[in-house]
Amino acid sequence: MPCYAIDGVIPVVDPTAYVHPSAVLIGDVIVGPGAYIGPLASLRGDFGRIVIEEGANLQDTCVMHGFPGTDTVVEVNGHIGHGAVLHGCVVRRDALVGMNAVVMDEAEIGEKSIVAACAFVRAGLKIPPAKLVAGVPAKVVRDLSDDEIAWKRAGTGTYQELTRRSLASLVEVAPLAAVEADRPRIPASDVKPLIAAKRGD
């Protein structure tokens, strides 16, 4: 992975974490046990500290950055969807930030809360625990149900398993020229999109 020290500060990656080779880590970055950092993620600890705690995931093309002297943190089992941007904020334990959402400076996403895809969480906004947040600018929409919280936790579990799978088997290869007659499939998990789960599929 591209990993850079700046001002003598070197990123830290726990040996049980998985960081994709195309992700970039700069300076004061701490990646905790069992965490997953996806392809093309950018963790820029060149001003403030970037922390990914145990079992959290930061998916493809996400960006984490902050102003000087700040901490940008994803706590234990935090779940950050593809393309999200976190800047100088805190995502509490078991919370989820949806795809392409933006969470700004000094905002706090409460424990077990979910920020909807494409939401914009303004600077300084404090989201209480177990809420659904959506919109531009983001507002609390309602309480989350126990089923929704369980769905989120199961999804995070699939990324924790992906960490283990990636450490064990992900390797760079040349592509095949044609599809094999007996092409295998990646084993499916029991986790479905929330819309499918609500329909009972």
Q: How confident is the model at residue 57 (pLDDT cuts 50, 70, 90)?
A: very high
CA 161 to CA 36: how far, in whole Å? 9
Stronger pLDDT, 199 or 135, i.e. the higher one? 135
Q: Is it the case that residue 68 has pLDDT exceeding 90?
A: yes
pLDDT in tens, 25-48: 999 999 999 999 999 999 999 999
Start-to-end CA distance of the chain, whole Å, equals 39
Q: What is the rounded average pLDDT of the residues 180-196?
A: 78
| Residue 194 binned pLDDT confidence (cut-offs 50, 70, 90) | low
Q: Is the sign of the CA dihedral 114, 103, 20, 179 positive or negative?
A: positive
Per residue in 84-116, pLDDT tens? Answer: 999 999 999 999 999 999 999 999 999 999 999
Q: Average model confidence (pLDDT) for the chain?
A: 95
Judge whether residue 195 has pLDDT over 70.
no
pLDDT at 196: 63
pLDDT at 198 over 90: no
pLDDT of residue 188: 76
Whether residue 200 is predicted with pLDDT greater than 90 in this model: the reply is no
Q: How far apart are CA 96 and CA 73, in angstroms?
A: 13
- Among candidate residues 36, 42, 40, 117, the one with its CA nearest the CA of residue 72: 42
Strands 139-143 and 131-134: antiparallel
Cα three-residue angle 180-181-183, rounded to 5 degrees: 60
Read off the pTM: 0.93
pLDDT value of position 52: 98
State the pLDDT confidence band at 1, using cuts at 50, 70 and 90: confident
- % of the chain beyond a pLDDT of 90: 90
Domains of the chain, first to last: 3-143 (2.160.10.10)
CB 73 within 8 A of CB 93: no
